[in-house]
Structure 1
Amino acid sequence: MQRNSRKYSDFADDLAKQTLEKLIASVNSPPDYQAAMLELGRQLGRVVGASIPHGRKCLIVSTAEDADYLASGVMESMQCEHEMLAAVFWNNHYSIYDASIAPIVHQFIQPGFEYADEIVVVKSIISTSCVIRTNILSLIESVSANNIYVVAPVIFFNAEDRLRSEFPTNISDKFRFVFFAVDEERTKAGNVIPGIGGQIYQLLGMHDQPARTGYLPNLVRRLACL
C-alpha cells in the first residue's frame, strides 16, 4: 500500500509496511508511537545485522530523541551477533538564511568507539542531510570503519544523493543506505508527507528538542552506569 507518492524499498517486507502504517496511525498517542518506532528499529536492525559478518564491533550513532526507540530497537536486533557500542548526540537543529544546521551541544560516546569495525547511523527520518552529516563528521577522523550504514524508516527522495555529495568519495563510498520508504512531498513547513507523521519530538511526547530541554535518554542512563 502506498500513501501519496510513497515508494517502498526492497528492504520493506509486509511487516515493515504495516509498521509504517501503524506509526502514522499513532501520531496522537505517544506510547503507541514510541512502540511503533522501537519495532521499526528492530526490523531495520535485522536487515543491517544480516549484512555484517558475525562478531563485528558496531558503533550505533543516533540523536538523543532517537536513542530510546529507533536506536534501541536496532541495537536489540544486532546485539546477539555483534558487539554494540553507542554514540548519542544532542543536535540543536535550526534554520538560518534558508540553510539548515545542527550543531552538537552535548554527546555521549562509549569508550572504545574508535575501534569500531562498522558505523551504523540511525535517524527517524532523513529529510535534509545536516544532522547526519554533522554527526558523521564528528566521528569520521577517529573511526576507521569498513562501512557506514545510514539507517532510517523513511527518507526524502533526494536525501541519499544529497548526503553523498557532502563527503569526498573515500568516505561516501563507504555509505550503505538501509530504509523502508521514500517520500517525495513536503508540507509548506518542510515536513515530509507522509514521512513519520510530523515532528519527531512531539510525536514521541517530548516538548522540544532534547538539546533545548536537557532530556537524558534511558539508553544513556543505562550505559553510563555500566
Structure 2
Amino acid sequence: MNRQFSDYTTEIEKANLSLLADKATDSTTYSHALYELGRELGRVLAEQVNDKKKSVCVACSVEDADYLTTGVIESLTSASLEVSLACFWNQRQRQHGLSMAPIVRKYREPNVDHAKILIMVKSVISGTYVVKTNLTHLIQTLQPDNIFVVAPVIHKEAPHKLSQEFPQSITNKFHYVYFATDTEKQANGDLIPGVGSHVYQRLGFKDQADKNKFTPKLVKSRSALLKTGVTR
C-alpha cells in the first residue's frame, strides 16, 4: 500500500482511515468514522486560523455534509469561529473525454459572501473537477484571504493539478489539510486504498441520482435556524 500520513495524523486517525478503506465496514460505522475524521480536521483548522474574528465559509458536496462536514463545523464553532455553510449537489459526468461535475442544486447561507476564510471539505480528492467546480462558483463572489482544501485522503498529485486550474492570485491562498496521501488509482479513478470506493454508495445511497435527491440533516437544521433569525 503506497500511502503516506501527514504530520497531523495520529493512531486514532489511522484507525478511522482503515475503517473507510475496508469494504466490509457497514454504513453506520463508516459514517461515524467520517464524522470523527471531520472533527479532527476541524481541530487542526481551528489551530491554523490566527484571527478568530474572521468569518469562515465551510463548503462541501451533499454526500459529505452530514458526517465529515458536520464534524468539521462542530470543531470550528467550539473554537468560537463564526461559520457559514455552502453545500453543492454535483452531477458527475464525462463529455468528450473530460470529467465534469456541474452544480445541479446549491445551498448558500447569507454570510457566505462575507467570509474571509474559505474551507473546501471533501471526503477524498482523487481528481480535482468537483473541487474545481465548487471553488470556481464560490470565488465569483467571495474574496477570501485564505483557502483551505481539506480531506481525510488525497491523491499525491491533487495539489499540483488543482493549482493548474486557477490563476496564481488564487493558488497563493491555498493551504492543504489532510491525513493521508495515496499514490495508486484504480481504472475508474478511485484511490487505492482511498476511502473504499465512492463515498455516497458507502453511505447507503443507491446511485448518483439517489444522492442528488437527498437533503442533508445539516442543511435542514441550519436552514431552520436561519428562518428563526438564529445564526451559529
Q: 1:1-226 alignment to 2 at 5 Å?
A: 4-25=1-22, 27-53=24-50, 54-80=52-78, 81-209=80-208, 213-226=212-225
State the distance in 1 between where 2:24 and 2:170 align. Answer: 36
Give the distance between the partners of 2:86 and 2:210, measured in 1 at CA.
15
Kept in 2: contact 1:108–1:220 (CA 8 A): yes
Tell me the TM-score normalised to structure 2 length: 0.92
Distance change (3 Å), C-alpha of 1:171 and 1:210: farther
CA deviations 1:110-157 (Å, max 9, x no partner) are 012111110000000001110000001101021111100000000011
Whether contact under 8 Å (2:124, 2:151) holds in the other structure is yes
Q: Distance in 2 between matches of 1:15 and 1:98?
A: 40
Is the partner of 1:176 in helix, strand or coil?
A: strand
CA apart distance, 1:18 = 1.7
SS of alignment partner, residue 57 of structure 2: strand
Q: Distance in 1 between matches of 2:148 and 2:210?
A: 24
> What is the count of residue pairs matched by the alignment?
223
SS of aligned partner of 2:196: coil
CA distance in 2, matches of 1:91, 1:219: 17
* Superposed CA offset, 1:80-132 (max 9, x none): 22001000000001222331100000000001211111000000000111000
Q: CA deviation at 1:211?
A: 7.2
Task: State the alpha-carbon separation in 1 of the partners of residues 151 and 90 from structure 2.
Answer: 17
Does 120-129 or 187-196 show the bigger shift? 187-196
Counterparts of 1:83 and 1:198 in 2: how far apart (Å)? 33
TM superposition shift of 1:208: 1.7
Q: Unaligned 5+ residue runs, structure 2?
A: 226-232
Distance 1:197-1:145 versus aligned 2 partners, 3 A rule:
same
The alpha-carbon distance between structure 1 residues 211 and 139, as it changes in their structure 2 partners (threshold 3 A), is: farther
C-alpha displacement at 1:26, in angstroms? 6.2
For the 8 Å contact 2:19–2:25, the answer to whether it is kept is no
Aligned-pair RMSD on alpha carbons? 1.4
Q: Secondary structure at the match of 2:118?
A: strand
How far did residue 24 of structure 1 move?
Answer: 2.3
Q: Quick one: distance in 2 between partners of 1:38 and 1:8?
A: 19
State the Cα distance separating 1:21 from its structure 2 match.
1.3
Distance 1:225 1:131 in 2: 27
